[in-house]
Every structure is written in structure tokens, then in C-alpha cells.
Structure 1
Amino acid sequence: MAKKKYNAFYAQSGGVTAVINATACGVIETARASKNIGKVYAGKNGIIGALREELIDTSKESKKDIAGLKFTPSGAFGSCRHKLKSIEENKAEYERLIEVFKAHDIRYFFYNGGGDSQDTAHKVSQLSETMGYPITCIGIPKTVDNDLPITDNCPGFGSVAKYVAVSIREAAFDVKSMAETSTKVFVMEVMGRHAGWIAAAGGLACEKEGDAPHIILFPEIAFNKEKFLKKVDRTVKKFGYCAIVVSEGTAYKDGTFLADAGTVDAFGHKQLGGVAPEVANMIKDELGYKYHWAVSDYLQRAARHIASATDVDQAYAMGKAAVEFADAGKNAVMPTIVRKNTKKYSWTVGEAKLADVANVEKMMPRSYITRDGFGITEECRQYLQPLIQGESYPPYKNGLPQYVELKNELVKKKLKTKFKI
């Protein structure tokens, strides 16, 4: 008699990336070959898809379209910013998850996200045991912020890093060519609330003295207005222009963000908006230089056309490893990227306990930032450089990249009760 196969639930969480669908591809392709896993259901718009019993049947998608996810940006099944509270605060949500999983014969839960997501997967693994319906919970790393602990780096970051480094280099060529009679200062805002990894990546474009960016503002370094303006002025006088990369989380010594919008998001984080114009106006008011500014915003994390091949490979590998971990009977763990100690960059798959990953942020080491606080060190460059290596272009047609759009057919609901979120 054949061993019974149980279904799996996969959800994408939080801000999407250029390569999160490559992870989905890794999960689904590997699960289809598994002897233990039946169908893979994906949550429509992330975890809320489970709470609402809106499950997408990925078995309805062709082999070709699933493979095409590897070249498609954003979240193919939809994502959300919905953080499940602690079990003590809102046990009903966790009980609802178990109820839905039980109704659809789901025994495997793959949660693709950052620290909050790993926390949720860990809690579900604990509660499912106490409720008598054990579920294998595997977290899968994903965040452009690169701030998950234990793993060397996070899928999604390498491609954003490549985009930022390329963008500041190209913009700087533009500014430099017009600086004599026009713009002398260019400010580019990038993501990064508490950790400056993305801003640091801009520093890869600076390969010799005078190259942009001339200044990087990190969340890890308290902003000193006087020191900053002196640096801008010196740079313009020396090179004719100044290109700046600023992290959205740049803050003063007392912790006040330069661009605090005064509101919070669904995770309770302060909404940050417009640090680039804040910095640019500061320069205009104090130094009188003509400026331009740009906010990378969603462009930096959606730019699949310029994704890092290393990032794509690692994103797929994390999805594949997650299923292999589940098949091996592992639970409450997350696959990680382990950098090998070799002359030529190489990496392998490791693992971490979800309890050790949940809600822990990895900041940039001080040794990665220059003494003056405005640039990256050689040590940082050696860490970052391999992560942006290689090109992985999507297929093109009529001059545009061709991306997959799935059918996303929902499974018939089995529960009578609806759940309000």
C-alpha cells in the first residue's frame, strides 16, 4: 500500500523581490518530485490566503509556467503585510490556520519571508503540536534588506544591490556631464530602515577616487548635519559634483529619522518617506547648490531585468532546500546560505533554527563602514562584490521582458465559517 501524501502550503510574505518567484519555483518543482508531498497550495496574497481559505492550486499550472517563475519578478501568488500577533494575544488566528490546514490535508507549511515570517512559522510549529495536528514548518529566507541573522546573505538582496550600484553609477555619469552649468548634487534614496546593506551596495560603483557615490548615509551612523554639509561642499569643489546614496532609515543621534512620516505600517514600523528631498533641500538651503533627487522605491526590488545571477541561483536553492528539509523530517528550521572560505567565491546550503532567526535584525558591522562614516571599506566590498555577480536575463519579446502570469485557480472551500482579518 502506497504511503499517504500530504499537501503543502506555501506563502509569500512582506515586500516582494526580483527573485522571490525563483524561490517559489524551487519549492514547487522540488515538491512535485517528492514522495511525501501531494499538492502545493499557495496562499492568495500570502498568509491571509490561509486565514480566508483562499488557496491557489499550483498543480493547475503548467511545467513551463512554473519554470518561468524563475525569470518573473514580484509575488506570483500575491503577498501581504499582515503580522500574526503572539499566540497569547490572538490565538484565534493560529487556530484558524490549523483549521484550514486540517480541512485541506495540509501537513507542510513553507513561509517565504523575513524575520516576522520566520517568527510566525516557528509559532505555528509549536501550536500545531499542542493542538494534536502536527505541521512541518520550514521558513525560507527572503528580504531585500539583507538583515536576517545566521544566513550569510538573503535572497532578494543581491539583485537590489546590483540595481543600486548600476543606477548610481549611471546617474553620476549624467550629473558629471552637466555639472559645470547645471546640477551639482544628486541624491538617490534607497530602502533600509535599520540596516544599511542596500545603501552600502551603492559603494560598489566607487572603484577609484572621484567615482560616485561620494557620500553614503547609513542607518547605523548617526547623521551629523554640519559634518555632512562640509563633506558635500568639499566634494563639489574637488570633483565638480557630488553624488549621494541615502538610506531611508538615516537618523539623528537621538534616533529621530530624517524622514519620519508620522504613521506606522501593518507591522507597527514607522512609515518613512522622502529622505532624499529632505537631504537635497538641506544642501540647497545651506550651500545653494542646484540639486536633483530620486527615490528608487519599488523599482529597486522589481528590477528582474538586471537581477544578479548569484541571487537567482540562491533564491531557487533556498526553495529547493526547504522541501528537501521537510522530506528529511526536519521541522522549525530555515535553510541558509553559507559562504565557503575559498579564494574564489562559493557557497553551500546550511540551516538555522527558526527560534534563532525570528525577529532578529542583522546590522552592518562597523568595520564595513569607513572611519568618517560616509563610505564602505575594502572588507565590505569583499563581502558585497560576489553577491551582484553574473547576469540572468529574462526572455525578451518586442523589446520587453516576458514574464509569467499564472492562472491562480482557487481550491473549493471546505469550511462554512468565514474569518475576518
Structure 2
Amino acid sequence: MASGNLLYAQSGGVTAVINATAAAVIGAARARKVKVLAARNGILGVLREELIDTSKESAAAIRALAHTPGGAFGSCRVKLKSLEQDRARYERLLEVFKAHDVRWFLYNGGNDSADTALKVSQLAAEFGYPLTCVGVPKTVDNDLAVTDCCPGFGSAAKYTAVSVRECALDVAAMADTSTKVFVYEAMGRHAGWLAAAAGLAGRGTDEAPHLILFPERPYEEAAFFAQVKATVERVGYCVVVASEGIQTADGRFVADAGGGKDSFGHTQLGGVASYLAGRVKDTLGYKVHWTLPDYLQRSARHLASKTDLAQAQAVGKAAVELALKGRNAVMPVIVRTADAPYRWKIEAAPLDRIANHEKKMPANFIRKDGYGITDAARRYLEPLIRGEAPPPYGRDGIPRYVVLKNVLVKAKLPAFDG
């Protein structure tokens, strides 16, 4: 096996189990006597030559990452452009790799991260530098291509389904004299996977959530109002789950906040739940409450799915194994082999089949009326939220999460201001 260091970085929105992947990466590398550096704040840390020496962390601290949410080394939302457009930054990455004898680069993220890992592998090949790049899957949106599901999604899906179930019980108790409509906003800009997960909270049209609004279906206000009114008259109340990315038939985001674009070029969305709640109140006259769980969906480690945790650890370990075998420009993906009983395995897939591709929900996962999930969706989703994996709790009643020392290695290059 070649000598050198392994560099791990986290990208994009973090999840309840991304640190479990990090722990698996570091543990697997340590078992092979390979030193792991971690970039502080994702790819920015590489560009700035801010690299963390994980060998300064105890084995106990690394193990504790498995039950700690957030991103232990920091993440970032930075999308590099093409090799031609961002040539200076890509070459800077290579300079940092060379300066710190990095021979394996593992980038833990979504579509854009897979694209970056692929481009770095191409640049290294162009310069003849022996570097193996492996993408590691992560996203609560569950929209990565090829992989059956994405680590991080199962736990966010469990949080969503449980939260909707609990909120629905609250609304049902108060509906006679108080709230008639409750709107829950789920993450999902272009793919409605988390909104669909809310459908696991109940069965049948009279159990919450009564209406789910998917980005895969155009939002039609009049039809939505009619459904809300009919549900309230039939059930006594209505629980609505809306994906943040629902759009009108002309392609306009319902929750476009007018705030421009983020660093990934995405429209800044402004809260679809509050908008829908206001419109329902003004039009139908019902008392409405709404909620925007936002980061709570992806940080709720206390309610993590045991399946999700196992998969997050499996892709981390597999990523190291693939890297050390020289499997360049690949990603360990989850392959479902059976629904009942649920079975899965890890395989390697080429990054060029994953980068910049987006997996939306299959049409047969959405009910014909467009407001709920089908049995096919339930068969796919249910195994992903199964099992409990609670963190250890202290006597104060708070989970025992770990904060790493994150000691930086000494910089060897001039500062980069690109």
C-alpha cells in the first residue's frame, strides 16, 4: 500500500449521522495505520490550508462522534465551477495535497461534492499526482443518484414522521375550539422525499398528514383550498405537510423570498408554511398554526434511525477501503437487496454517474390525487426509519455530545486569497 495521508472533508448541510461517517472513516484508517487529516469547514479548509490533525483526538472522542450531530470539523456551502473557470482554486487544492502528502481524498457530501471530487481526480491525473478521490454520500434530501438512499435521510425522515404524528395528536385534541389547520414545512427543494416521509405518520385519508404538497406536483391554490375545506368538514381538522420547494405551474417557488441566490445558485426560499397558513386563514377563515422545523430535521440525533446510523458508518468504512485499494473517482452506495425483510449492501459506483444528477421521487410514490403517498412509497420508506439509536445521556438529562480539539497542522504554503 502506498504511504501518505488521507484527507477527509464534510460538505453542505450536515446531518444527524454525518459524524458517524467521520468516525467510521477515522477508525478504519487508524486500523490500517493511515493518518487522517480533516479539512476545517470543508473544501474551504483545503484552500486555506486549515487541516486538522485527527491523531490528536482520543479513541473515545472519535467513538463519541458516532452519536454527535452537526459537523465535527465544520462544513461549507461552496461550489467550485468547472476546471477551466476555477483553475486557480483547483490547482491550489493540488498544491495543498502535495504539501501535506495527501494521497487519498474523501469528500462527504451530496451532488456538488461528488462533482468536486470527480474534478479533483481529473486534475490530479492531468498533473500526474498519485491521488485517489472517493465521494462519500450524505444528504437529508435523499436526492443522490444511484444509491438507494442517502445517509442522513433516514434520521431526518424519522424525525419528520414522529413530529407530524405528535403534532397531529395535539391538533386533534384542540380542534373543536381552537386550531383547525396545522401546516408543517419539510425540507426538499426539488425532491419531496422528506415530505413523503411524513406520510408514514398515518394511514388512510382521515389520518394525519391529511394533505402532502410535493415539489414534483404543481401547486394549485384553489384545489388545495378545496381539499383543506373538505378535510376539516370531514375529520374536524387538517394537518398539511408542505415541501419547501413546491412550485406553481409556471415554475415559480411558492416560498420565493426574493432574497436572490445562495452560493450554490439556489433561490433563497422564505417559508412556505407561514405563507400557506396565512392564505388558508384569509381565504377559509380557519384558525391556523404552522411550524418550520428547518435545522431541527437534520440535527435531531436523539431521534436517529438505527438503520440510518448503520448505513452512515458502513459508507465511511467502505470509502476508506475503496480509497486504499486505489478505486479512484467512485462512491460507496447503498444497494437494496430485499424489502421484506429489509436487506442492503454497499457497492462502488462511478462518480460520473452521480455528480450533478438528481433523484426525484418516482411517480408511483405519489397518490393519484397528488396529496399523499402510495403503498410503494411506504414499502421504500419504512425500513429507513426503523430502529432506535439514542445517544448516551448525562445526569443533567442532556445527551453527552463530544466537541473535538481540532488541532491544526502547521501550514506550509503562502496564504491563499482566491
Give me the whole-angstrom Cα distance separating, in 1, the residues matched to 2:83 and 2:356.
15
1:206 Cα deviation from its structure 2 partner: 1.1
Partner-residue secondary structure (3-state), 1:200: helix
Question: Residue 95 and residue 239 in structure 1: after superposition, are their counterparts in 2 closer, same or farther (change >3 A)?
Answer: same
Aligned sequence identity (%): 62
Give me the whole-angstrom Cα distance separating, in 1, the residues matched to 2:403 and 2:42.
17
* Counterpart code for 1:70: A
Q: When the two structures are aligned, how many residues end up with a matched partner?
A: 416
Give me the whole-angstrom Cα distance separating, in 2, the residues matched to 1:57 and 1:196.
38
Residue of structure 1 in register with 2:333 after alignment: 336
Residue of structure 1 in register with 2:390 after alignment: 393
* Counterpart code for 2:318: A
Listed one character per residue, the Cα deviations across residues 209-267 of structure 1 (whole Å, up to 9, x for unaligned) are: 42110000000000011111110000000110000100000000111010101211111
8 A contact 1:144–1:301 mirrored in 2 = yes
Residue of structure 2 in register with 1:306 after alignment: 303
Give me the whole-angstrom Cα distance separating, in 1, the residues matched to 2:221 and 2:365.
22
Give me the whole-angstrom Cα distance separating, in 2, the residues matched to 1:115 and 1:342.
26
Partner-residue secondary structure (3-state), 2:317: helix
Greater mean deviation of Cα atoms: 341-350 or 210-219: 341-350
State yes or no: 1:89 paired with 2:85: yes
Residue of structure 2 in register with 1:187 after alignment: 183
State yes or no: 1:77 paired with 2:34: no
Partner-residue secondary structure (3-state), 2:94: helix
* Counterpart code for 1:31: A
Residue of structure 1 in register with 2:102 after alignment: 106
Partner-residue secondary structure (3-state), 1:120: helix
Query: Which segments of structure 1 move beyond 6 Å, counting only runs of 4 or more?
Result: none
Give me the whole-angstrom Cα distance separating, in 2, the residues matched to 1:268 and 1:40.
32
Residue of structure 2 in register with 1:14 after alignment: 12
Residue of structure 1 in register with 2:41 after alignment: 45
* Counterpart code for 1:316: Q
TM-score, structure 1 length as denominator?
Answer: 0.98
Give me the whole-angstrom Cα distance separating, in 1, the residues matched to 2:217 and 2:184.
18
Give me the whole-angstrom Cα distance separating, in 2, the residues matched to 1:327 and 1:80.
26
1:207 Cα deviation from its structure 2 partner: 2.4
8 A contact 1:34–1:327 mirrored in 2 = no
Match among 409, 412, 418 for residue 411 of structure 1: 409
8 A contact 2:6–2:35 mirrored in 1 = yes
Match among 247, 252, 262 for residue 251 of structure 1: 247
Residue of structure 1 in register with 2:121 after alignment: 125
Match among 164, 168, 182 for residue 168 of structure 1: 164
* Counterpart code for 1:278: Y
Give me the whole-angstrom Cα distance separating, in 1, the residues matched to 2:13 and 2:385.
20
Give me the whole-angstrom Cα distance separating, in 2, the residues matched to 1:15 and 1:181.
40
Partner-residue secondary structure (3-state), 1:349: strand
8 A contact 1:109–1:136 mirrored in 2 = yes
Greater mean deviation of Cα atoms: 75-84 or 259-268: 259-268
Greater mean deviation of Cα atoms: 384-393 or 268-277: 268-277
Give me the whole-angstrom Cα distance separating, in 1, the residues matched to 2:302 and 2:397.
12
* Counterpart code for 2:182: F
Listed one character per residue, the Cα deviations across residues 69-117 of structure 1 (whole Å, up to 9, x for unaligned) are: 0000010000000111111101001100000010001010000000000
Residue of structure 2 in register with 1:158 after alignment: 154
Partner-residue secondary structure (3-state), 1:116: helix
Give me the whole-angstrom Cα distance separating, in 2, the residues matched to 1:209 and 1:354.
41
Give me the whole-angstrom Cα distance separating, in 2, the residues matched to 1:246 and 1:420.
41
* Counterpart code for 1:8: L
Partner-residue secondary structure (3-state), 1:25: helix
State yes or no: 1:225 paired with 2:221: yes
The alignment yields a C-alpha RMSD, in angstroms, of: 0.9
8 A contact 1:125–1:134 mirrored in 2 = no
* Counterpart code for 2:184: M
Partner-residue secondary structure (3-state), 1:372: coil
1:342 Cα deviation from its structure 2 partner: 5.4
Q: Unpaired runs of 5+ in structure 2?
A: none
State yes or no: 1:142 paired with 2:138: yes
Partner-residue secondary structure (3-state), 2:291: strand
Give me the whole-angstrom Cα distance separating, in 2, the residues matched to 1:281 and 1:326.
51
1:126 Cα deviation from its structure 2 partner: 0.4
Residue of structure 1 in register with 2:372 after alignment: 375
* Counterpart code for 1:97: L
* Counterpart code for 2:143: D
Question: Residue 335 and residue 23 in structure 1: after superposition, are their counterparts in 2 closer, same or farther (change >3 A)?
Answer: same
TM-score, structure 2 length as denominator?
Answer: 0.98
8 A contact 1:26–1:317 mirrored in 2 = yes
Listed one character per residue, the Cα deviations across residues 161-206 of structure 1 (whole Å, up to 9, x for unaligned) are: 0000000110011111011111100000010000000000000001
Question: Residue 389 and residue 342 in structure 1: after superposition, are their counterparts in 2 closer, same or farther (change >3 A)?
Answer: closer
Residue of structure 2 in register with 1:354 after alignment: 351
8 A contact 2:339–2:379 mirrored in 1 = no
Give me the whole-angstrom Cα distance separating, in 1, the residues matched to 2:275 and 2:287.
14
Q: Unpaired runs of 5+ in structure 1?
A: none
Give me the whole-angstrom Cα distance separating, in 2, the residues matched to 1:326 and 1:107.
9
* Counterpart code for 2:350: K
Give me the whole-angstrom Cα distance separating, in 2, the residues matched to 1:362 and 1:342.
20
Residue of structure 2 in register with 1:212 after alignment: 208
1:208 Cα deviation from its structure 2 partner: 4.1
